[in-house]
Protein backbone atom coordinates (compact mmCIF):
# COMPACT_ATOMS: atom_id res chain seq x y z
CA UNK A 1 0.00 0.00 0.00
CA UNK A 2 1.33 3.46 -0.95
CA UNK A 3 2.39 5.50 2.07
CA UNK A 4 0.63 8.83 2.50
CA UNK A 5 3.03 11.74 2.15
CA UNK A 6 2.89 14.09 5.15
CA UNK A 7 4.09 17.62 5.79
CA UNK A 8 6.88 16.02 7.85
CA UNK A 9 8.13 14.22 4.71
CA UNK A 10 8.07 17.48 2.77
CA UNK A 11 10.00 19.31 5.48
CA UNK A 12 12.63 16.58 5.68
CA UNK A 13 13.19 16.54 1.89
CA UNK A 14 13.29 20.35 1.67
CA UNK A 15 15.65 20.65 4.64
CA UNK A 16 13.37 22.90 6.67
CA UNK A 17 11.35 22.59 9.84
CA UNK A 18 7.76 21.36 9.80
CA UNK A 19 6.65 24.84 10.88
CA UNK A 20 8.47 26.46 7.94
CA UNK A 21 6.99 23.95 5.47
CA UNK A 22 3.54 24.66 6.84
CA UNK A 23 4.07 28.43 6.62
CA UNK A 24 5.27 28.07 3.02
CA UNK A 25 2.12 26.11 2.17
CA UNK A 26 -0.06 28.78 3.77
CA UNK A 27 1.70 31.64 1.96
CA UNK A 28 3.16 33.21 5.09
CA UNK A 29 5.29 36.32 4.56
CA UNK A 30 7.67 35.00 7.24
CA UNK A 31 9.12 32.52 4.74
CA UNK A 32 11.79 33.71 2.28
CA UNK A 33 10.79 33.46 -1.36
CA UNK A 34 13.60 31.03 -2.23
CA UNK A 35 12.60 28.76 0.67
CA UNK A 36 8.95 28.89 -0.31
CA UNK A 37 9.74 27.89 -3.89
CA UNK A 38 11.91 24.99 -2.69
CA UNK A 39 9.17 23.71 -0.36
CA UNK A 40 6.52 23.97 -3.07
CA UNK A 41 8.78 22.17 -5.54
CA UNK A 42 9.26 19.32 -3.08
CA UNK A 43 5.52 19.15 -2.51
CA UNK A 44 5.06 18.77 -6.24
CA UNK A 45 7.78 16.11 -6.49
CA UNK A 46 6.31 14.09 -3.64
CA UNK A 47 2.75 14.67 -4.90
CA UNK A 48 1.87 15.99 -1.50
CA UNK A 49 -1.85 16.65 -0.93
CA UNK A 50 -2.40 18.83 2.15
CA UNK A 51 -4.97 17.70 4.67
CA UNK A 52 -7.89 20.11 4.68
CA UNK A 53 -8.49 19.60 8.38
CA UNK A 54 -4.81 20.11 9.17
CA UNK A 55 -4.70 23.24 7.06
CA UNK A 56 -7.74 24.63 8.84
CA UNK A 57 -6.16 23.85 12.18
CA UNK A 58 -2.84 25.49 11.27
CA UNK A 59 -4.58 28.64 10.02
CA UNK A 60 -7.00 28.78 12.95
CA UNK A 61 -9.84 29.15 10.46
CA UNK A 62 -12.66 27.00 9.09
CA UNK A 63 -12.04 27.94 5.43
CA UNK A 64 -15.79 28.06 4.92
CA UNK A 65 -18.19 30.84 3.98
CA UNK A 66 -21.79 30.53 5.13
CA UNK A 67 -24.75 31.78 3.11
CA UNK A 68 -28.08 32.19 4.87
CA UNK A 69 -30.82 32.83 2.35
CA UNK A 70 -34.59 32.76 2.20
CA UNK A 71 -36.56 30.44 -0.06
CA UNK A 72 -33.60 28.93 -1.87
CA UNK A 73 -35.69 27.29 -4.60
CA UNK A 74 -36.91 30.62 -5.96
CA UNK A 75 -35.11 31.72 -9.16
CA UNK A 76 -33.91 34.96 -7.55
CA UNK A 77 -32.09 33.09 -4.78
CA UNK A 78 -30.60 30.57 -7.20
CA UNK A 79 -29.14 33.30 -9.41
CA UNK A 80 -27.60 35.13 -6.45
CA UNK A 81 -26.04 31.90 -5.18
CA UNK A 82 -24.54 31.38 -8.64
CA UNK A 83 -22.84 34.76 -8.28
CA UNK A 84 -21.49 33.80 -4.85
CA UNK A 85 -20.21 30.47 -6.12
CA UNK A 86 -18.47 32.10 -9.08
CA UNK A 87 -16.28 33.98 -6.60
CA UNK A 88 -15.71 31.25 -4.03
CA UNK A 89 -14.89 28.57 -6.61
CA UNK A 90 -11.62 30.44 -7.25
CA UNK A 91 -10.86 30.84 -3.55
CA UNK A 92 -9.77 28.53 -0.75
CA UNK A 93 -13.18 28.71 0.90
CA UNK A 94 -15.90 26.08 0.84
CA UNK A 95 -19.49 27.27 0.51
CA UNK A 96 -22.13 26.19 3.03
CA UNK A 97 -25.75 27.18 2.37
CA UNK A 98 -28.59 27.37 4.88
CA UNK A 99 -32.11 27.76 3.53
CA UNK A 100 -34.70 29.63 5.61
CA UNK A 101 -38.43 29.18 5.07
CA UNK A 102 -39.64 29.64 8.67
CA UNK A 103 -39.17 32.32 11.30
CA UNK A 104 -37.84 29.71 13.70
CA UNK A 105 -35.05 28.71 11.30
CA UNK A 106 -34.14 32.33 10.69
CA UNK A 107 -33.76 33.07 14.39
CA UNK A 108 -31.85 29.84 14.99
CA UNK A 109 -29.36 30.43 12.19
CA UNK A 110 -28.75 34.10 12.97
CA UNK A 111 -28.11 33.19 16.57
CA UNK A 112 -25.84 30.18 16.05
CA UNK A 113 -23.98 30.55 12.74
CA UNK A 114 -21.94 33.82 12.95
CA UNK A 115 -19.37 32.12 15.21
CA UNK A 116 -15.64 31.76 14.49
CA UNK A 117 -15.65 28.02 15.17
CA UNK A 118 -18.39 27.47 12.56
CA UNK A 119 -17.46 29.77 9.67
CA UNK A 120 -15.09 32.53 8.57
CA UNK A 121 -17.85 34.81 7.30
CA UNK A 122 -21.59 35.03 6.67
CA UNK A 123 -23.55 36.27 3.67
CA UNK A 124 -27.13 37.10 4.62
CA UNK A 125 -29.18 37.18 1.42
CA UNK A 126 -32.75 38.48 1.07
CA UNK A 127 -33.50 37.86 4.74
CA UNK A 128 -34.09 40.89 6.98
CA UNK A 129 -32.82 40.34 10.53
CA UNK A 130 -34.87 41.54 13.46
CA UNK A 131 -33.84 45.03 14.67
CA UNK A 132 -32.55 43.51 17.92
CA UNK A 133 -30.26 41.18 15.92
CA UNK A 134 -28.49 43.88 13.90
CA UNK A 135 -26.10 45.12 16.60
CA UNK A 136 -25.18 41.53 17.51
CA UNK A 137 -24.41 40.70 13.88
CA UNK A 138 -22.29 43.85 13.51
CA UNK A 139 -20.17 42.83 16.52
CA UNK A 140 -20.04 39.10 15.65
CA UNK A 141 -16.72 37.26 15.77
CA UNK A 142 -16.82 36.89 11.98
CA UNK A 143 -17.85 39.45 9.34
CA UNK A 144 -21.46 39.50 8.17
CA UNK A 145 -22.37 40.99 4.77
CA UNK A 146 -25.99 41.50 3.73
CA UNK A 147 -27.33 41.34 0.17
CA UNK A 148 -30.78 42.54 -0.90
CA UNK A 149 -31.93 43.60 2.56
CA UNK A 150 -33.37 47.11 2.88
CA UNK A 151 -33.39 48.83 6.25
CA UNK A 152 -31.68 52.00 7.56
CA UNK A 153 -30.59 50.06 10.65
CA UNK A 154 -28.36 47.88 8.46
CA UNK A 155 -25.92 50.73 7.80
CA UNK A 156 -23.73 49.17 10.51
CA UNK A 157 -23.18 46.12 8.26
CA UNK A 158 -21.42 45.86 4.88
CA UNK A 159 -24.12 45.43 2.24
CA UNK A 160 -25.05 45.22 -1.42
CA UNK A 161 -28.52 46.53 -2.28
CA UNK A 162 -30.65 47.56 -5.22
CA UNK A 163 -33.37 50.20 -5.32
CA UNK A 164 -36.82 48.64 -5.52
CA UNK A 165 -38.63 51.98 -5.42
CA UNK A 166 -36.65 53.23 -8.42
CA UNK A 167 -37.23 49.90 -10.17
CA UNK A 168 -40.98 50.10 -9.70
CA UNK A 169 -40.97 53.62 -11.01
CA UNK A 170 -38.97 52.54 -14.07
CA UNK A 171 -41.51 49.84 -14.92
CA UNK A 172 -44.58 52.05 -14.63
CA UNK A 173 -42.97 55.05 -16.36
CA UNK A 174 -42.32 52.75 -19.33
CA UNK A 175 -46.00 51.78 -19.44
CA UNK A 176 -47.15 55.40 -19.08
CA UNK A 177 -44.87 56.43 -21.96
CA UNK A 178 -46.55 53.74 -24.06
CA UNK A 179 -49.86 55.49 -23.44
CA UNK A 180 -51.29 53.28 -20.69
CA UNK A 181 -53.43 55.04 -18.09
CA UNK A 182 -55.11 52.05 -16.44
CA UNK A 183 -52.16 50.16 -14.97
CA UNK A 184 -52.61 47.34 -12.51
CA UNK A 185 -50.23 46.09 -9.84
CA UNK A 186 -49.84 42.49 -8.62
CA UNK A 187 -47.49 41.75 -5.76
CA UNK A 188 -46.91 40.05 -2.42
CA UNK A 189 -48.82 40.93 0.72
CA UNK A 190 -47.10 43.94 2.26
CA UNK A 191 -47.38 42.62 5.81
CA UNK A 192 -45.40 39.43 6.31
CA UNK A 193 -43.66 37.75 9.26
CA UNK A 194 -40.20 37.96 7.64
CA UNK A 195 -40.30 41.71 7.13
CA UNK A 196 -39.75 41.49 3.37
CA UNK A 197 -40.04 44.95 1.81
CA UNK A 198 -39.56 44.42 -1.95
CA UNK A 199 -43.24 44.25 -2.93
CA UNK A 200 -44.13 47.32 -0.86
CA UNK A 201 -41.15 49.30 -2.21
CA UNK A 202 -41.94 48.40 -5.82
CA UNK A 203 -45.52 49.45 -5.21
CA UNK A 204 -44.24 52.78 -3.87
CA UNK A 205 -42.41 53.24 -7.18
CA UNK A 206 -45.61 52.30 -9.02
CA UNK A 207 -47.56 54.98 -7.15
CA UNK A 208 -44.83 57.57 -7.63
CA UNK A 209 -44.72 57.05 -11.41
CA UNK A 210 -48.50 57.33 -11.67
CA UNK A 211 -48.56 60.51 -9.55
CA UNK A 212 -45.79 62.14 -11.60
CA UNK A 213 -47.80 61.34 -14.74
CA UNK A 214 -50.89 62.97 -13.23
CA UNK A 215 -52.72 59.63 -12.94
CA UNK A 216 -54.65 58.72 -9.81
CA UNK A 217 -53.80 55.21 -8.50
CA UNK A 218 -56.90 52.99 -8.42
CA UNK A 219 -57.23 50.61 -5.49
CA UNK A 220 -59.35 48.25 -7.60
CA UNK A 221 -56.34 47.68 -9.88
CA UNK A 222 -54.10 46.51 -7.01
CA UNK A 223 -54.09 42.82 -6.07
CA UNK A 224 -51.85 41.28 -3.42
CA UNK A 225 -51.33 37.65 -2.46
CA UNK A 226 -48.82 34.88 -1.86
CA UNK A 227 -45.65 34.84 -3.96
CA UNK A 228 -46.70 32.27 -6.54
CA UNK A 229 -47.25 32.09 -10.29
CA UNK A 230 -50.58 30.36 -9.69
CA UNK A 231 -51.74 32.92 -7.14
CA UNK A 232 -50.73 35.73 -9.49
CA UNK A 233 -52.75 34.12 -12.29
CA UNK A 234 -55.88 34.07 -10.12
CA UNK A 235 -55.35 37.67 -9.02
CA UNK A 236 -54.83 38.79 -12.62
CA UNK A 237 -57.95 36.99 -13.84
CA UNK A 238 -59.89 38.89 -11.19
CA UNK A 239 -58.49 42.25 -12.34
CA UNK A 240 -59.00 41.49 -16.02
CA UNK A 241 -62.58 40.39 -15.45
CA UNK A 242 -63.60 43.55 -13.62
CA UNK A 243 -65.79 46.36 -14.98
CA UNK A 244 -62.77 48.63 -15.66
CA UNK A 245 -59.87 46.28 -16.37
CA UNK A 246 -56.31 47.52 -16.82
CA UNK A 247 -54.59 47.81 -20.19
CA UNK A 248 -51.26 47.02 -18.51
CA UNK A 249 -50.08 45.21 -15.39
CA UNK A 250 -46.84 45.63 -13.46
CA UNK A 251 -45.99 42.48 -11.49
CA UNK A 252 -43.62 42.67 -8.52
CA UNK A 253 -41.62 39.68 -9.77
CA UNK A 254 -41.08 37.77 -12.99
CA UNK A 255 -42.61 34.70 -11.35
CA UNK A 256 -45.82 36.65 -10.82
CA UNK A 257 -45.60 38.16 -14.30
CA UNK A 258 -45.61 34.65 -15.75
CA UNK A 259 -48.88 34.10 -13.88
CA UNK A 260 -50.28 37.30 -15.39
CA UNK A 261 -49.38 36.08 -18.90
CA UNK A 262 -51.23 32.84 -18.20
CA UNK A 263 -54.24 34.80 -16.96
CA UNK A 264 -54.31 36.95 -20.11
CA UNK A 265 -54.39 33.83 -22.27
CA UNK A 266 -57.11 32.35 -20.06
CA UNK A 267 -59.45 35.30 -20.58
CA UNK A 268 -58.66 35.56 -24.29
CA UNK A 269 -56.37 38.59 -24.33
CA UNK A 270 -53.37 39.03 -26.60
CA UNK A 271 -50.06 40.05 -25.02
CA UNK A 272 -49.04 42.78 -25.72
CA UNK A 273 -51.80 43.75 -28.17
CA UNK A 274 -54.55 43.76 -25.55
CA UNK A 275 -52.49 43.77 -22.36
CA UNK A 276 -48.94 44.94 -21.68
CA UNK A 277 -47.04 43.21 -18.86
CA UNK A 278 -43.86 44.20 -17.04
CA UNK A 279 -42.15 41.98 -14.47
CA UNK A 280 -39.26 42.42 -12.05
CA UNK A 281 -35.96 40.50 -11.56
CA UNK A 282 -34.95 39.37 -15.07
CA UNK A 283 -34.70 35.67 -14.21
CA UNK A 284 -33.69 33.24 -16.95
CA UNK A 285 -37.30 32.47 -17.90
CA UNK A 286 -37.96 36.16 -18.60
CA UNK A 287 -35.71 36.13 -21.64
CA UNK A 288 -37.19 32.83 -22.80
CA UNK A 289 -40.78 34.17 -22.88
CA UNK A 290 -39.81 37.66 -24.06
CA UNK A 291 -40.91 39.36 -20.85
CA UNK A 292 -40.31 43.09 -20.44
CA UNK A 293 -38.89 43.40 -16.96
CA UNK A 294 -36.76 45.34 -14.50
CA UNK A 295 -33.34 43.76 -14.12
CA UNK A 296 -32.03 43.91 -10.56
CA UNK A 297 -28.68 42.22 -11.34
CA UNK A 298 -29.17 39.08 -9.30
CA UNK A 299 -25.93 37.33 -10.29
CA UNK A 300 -23.90 40.49 -9.86
CA UNK A 301 -25.32 41.15 -6.39
CA UNK A 302 -24.23 37.68 -5.27
CA UNK A 303 -20.81 38.12 -6.84
CA UNK A 304 -20.24 41.53 -5.27
CA UNK A 305 -21.50 40.29 -1.91
CA UNK A 306 -19.01 37.40 -1.96
CA UNK A 307 -16.14 39.65 -3.01
CA UNK A 308 -17.01 42.10 -0.25
CA UNK A 309 -17.14 39.31 2.32
CA UNK A 310 -13.71 37.97 1.32
CA UNK A 311 -12.28 41.46 1.79
CA UNK A 312 -13.92 41.68 5.21
CA UNK A 313 -12.50 38.29 6.16
CA UNK A 314 -9.06 39.57 5.23
CA UNK A 315 -9.49 42.88 7.06
CA UNK A 316 -12.62 44.21 8.76
CA UNK A 317 -13.56 47.69 7.53
CA UNK A 318 -13.78 50.53 10.03
CA UNK A 319 -16.69 52.00 8.06
CA UNK A 320 -19.02 49.32 6.62
CA UNK A 321 -18.95 49.57 2.80
CA UNK A 322 -22.22 50.03 0.96
CA UNK A 323 -22.64 49.05 -2.71
CA UNK A 324 -25.68 50.25 -4.66
CA UNK A 325 -26.88 48.41 -7.76
CA UNK A 326 -29.27 50.57 -9.77
CA UNK A 327 -32.01 48.66 -11.65
CA UNK A 328 -32.35 48.61 -15.46
CA UNK A 329 -35.41 48.32 -17.66
CA UNK A 330 -35.19 45.48 -20.20
CA UNK A 331 -37.76 45.97 -22.94
CA UNK A 332 -38.83 42.80 -24.71
CA UNK A 333 -42.06 41.57 -26.30
CA UNK A 334 -44.73 41.87 -23.59
CA UNK A 335 -45.14 45.65 -23.60
CA UNK A 336 -46.52 47.76 -26.45
CA UNK A 337 -48.32 50.99 -27.25
CA UNK A 338 -51.78 51.22 -25.70
CA UNK A 339 -54.69 51.24 -28.10
CA UNK A 340 -58.31 52.18 -27.71
CA UNK A 341 -61.23 49.79 -27.76
CA UNK A 342 -59.38 46.78 -26.41
CA UNK A 343 -61.42 43.59 -26.62
CA UNK A 344 -62.23 42.03 -23.24
CA UNK A 345 -63.11 38.37 -22.85
Condensed to tens digits (0 to 9), the pLDDT of residues 243-259 reads 999 999 999 999 999 99
Return the pLDDT at 9.
86
Return the pLDDT at 50.
67
Q: 325-338: per-residue pLDDT in tens?
A: 999 999 999 999 99
C-alpha to C-alpha distance for 340 and 274, rounded to whole angstroms: 9
Taking residues 16-44, what's their average pLDDT? 82
Task: Give the residue from 197, 217, 219, 222 showing the smallest Cα distance to 207.
Answer: 217
Taking residues 277-282, what's their average pLDDT? 98
Q: Does the pLDDT value for residue 32 go beyond 80?
A: yes
Q: What radius of gyration, in Å, describes the C-alpha atoms of the chain? A: 26
Q: Does the pLDDT value for residue 165 go beyond 60?
A: yes
- Specify the pTM: 0.82
CA diameter of the chain: 88
**What are the residue ranges of CATH 3.40.50.2300 in the chain?**
64-162+297-325, 164-296
Low-confidence winner among 21-30, 39-48, 155-164 (lowest mean pLDDT): 21-30
What is the pLDDT confidence band of residue 17, given thresholds at 50, 70 and 90?
confident
Return the pLDDT at 102.
95
Percentage, residues of the chain above pLDDT 90: 71
Taking residues 75-84, what's their average pLDDT? 96
**CB within 8 A of 37, min separation 6: which ones?**
none
Q: Phi and psi for 296 in degrees, rounded to 5?
A: -110, 15
Low-confidence winner among 111-125, 128-142, 175-189 (lowest mean pLDDT): 111-125
CA distances from 82 to 88, 97, 276 (A): 10, 12, 31
Q: Which CATH class is domain 164-296?
A: alpha beta
Which is more confidently placed, 114 or 2?
Answer: 114
Q: Does the pLDDT value for residue 55 go beyond 60?
A: no
189 within 8 A of 199, measured Cβ to Cβ = yes
**CB within 8 A of 311, min separation 6: which ones?**
317
Q: Does the pLDDT value for residue 49 go beyond 80?
A: no
Taking residues 238-244, what's their average pLDDT? 93
What is the pLDDT confidence band of residue 87, given thresholds at 50, 70 and 90?
very high
Fold of the 64-162+297-325 domain: Rossmann fold (3.40.50)
C-alpha to C-alpha distance for 131 and 137, rounded to whole angstroms: 10
Task: Give the residue from 254, 319, 264, 310 showing the smallest Cα distance to 287.
Answer: 254
* pLDDT, the chain, mean: 91
Q: Does the pLDDT value for residue 345 go beyond 50?
A: no
280 within 8 A of 294, measured Cβ to Cβ = yes
**CB within 8 A of 238, min separation 6: which ones?**
223
C-alpha to C-alpha distance for 280 and 270, rounded to whole angstroms: 21
Q: Does the pLDDT value for residue 194 go beyond 60?
A: yes
Percentage, residues of the chain above pLDDT 70: 94
Q: Does the pLDDT value for residue 81 go beyond 60?
A: yes
**What are the residue ranges of CATH 1.10.260.40 in the chain?**
7-59
C-alpha to C-alpha distance for 283 and 279, rounded to whole angstroms: 10
CATH number of the structural domain 7-59: 1.10.260.40
Amino acid sequence: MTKTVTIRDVARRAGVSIATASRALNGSELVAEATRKRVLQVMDELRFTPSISARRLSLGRTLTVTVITSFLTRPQAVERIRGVDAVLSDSEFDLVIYNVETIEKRDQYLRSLPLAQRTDGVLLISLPPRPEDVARLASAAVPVVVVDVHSPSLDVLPRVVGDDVAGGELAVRHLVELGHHEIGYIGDEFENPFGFTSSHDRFAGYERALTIAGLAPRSDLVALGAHSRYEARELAVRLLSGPRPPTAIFAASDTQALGVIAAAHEVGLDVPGDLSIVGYDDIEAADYVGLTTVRQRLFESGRLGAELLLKEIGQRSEVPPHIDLPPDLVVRATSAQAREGLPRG
